[in-house]
Amino acid sequence: MQPSRPNPPLDPAVRIGHVHLKVADLERALGFYCGVLGFALTQRLGAQAAFISAGGYHHHIGLNTWESLGGRPAPRGTTGLFHTAILYPTRAALADALRRVMTAGIPLDGASDHGVSEALYLRDPDENGVELYWDRPAEEWPRTPDGELAMFTRRLDLDDLLRQ
């Protein structure tokens, strides 16, 4: 739907506050997000839902079984969430995340250097896509001669990341 006249730009302080995922098994999901990635449980609604965060925020991720208890992942080729992106504050913090994932034996779907960021791609136990990434400082982002972003996708050197 096209507006009749252009709207002003969105307030630059707007952020995506949290994501809420449907999961088949709450304990299994908590094992991944809290046990492997290290999020903290902030609230639980019995066996049906849980809220988790980093740094004491009320919740970054909600997990629930309200419509999905015992369910199966959506088949490939259907619409829906491609991945949840979790932003790490530093490259060293991303390296720690990689170590956690490797120790848990969770395979990566990919690992990319995008110029503006470095990212690890994997799946949670419900086959939801998860991106773990850190952003380079804006002054290091690749740009065209005209000043536009010039993002790219190159293989991320995991050994170099682990040396952090």
In three state form, how does the secondary structure of the chain look? Answer: CCCCCCCCCCCCCCCCCCEEEECCCHHHHHHHHHHHCCCEEEEEECCCEEEEECCCCCCCEEEECCCCCCCCCCCCCCCCCCCEEEEECCHHHHHHHHHHHHHCCCCCCEEEECCCEEEEEEECCCCCEEEEEEECCHHHCCECCCCCECCCCEECCHHHHHCC
- The domain containing residue 157 runs over which residues? 82-164
Whether 15 shows a pLDDT value over 70: the answer reads yes
Of all residues in the chain, the percent with pLDDT exceeding 90 is: 92
Confidence of residue 6 (pLDDT cuts 50, 70, 90): confident
Whether 49 shows a pLDDT value over 70: the answer reads yes
- Total domains in the fold of the chain: 2
In this structure, the answer to whether residues 43 and 100 fall within a common structural domain is no
Whether 98 shows a pLDDT value over 90: the answer reads yes
**Which CATH number characterizes residue 111's domain?**
3.10.180.10
Confidence of residue 164 (pLDDT cuts 50, 70, 90): confident
pTM given for the model = 0.93
Q: Examine residue 118 and state whether it is found in any structural domain, yes or no.
A: yes
| Per-residue confidence (pLDDT) for residue 73, from 0 to 100 | 94
| Per-residue confidence (pLDDT) for residue 4, from 0 to 100 | 74
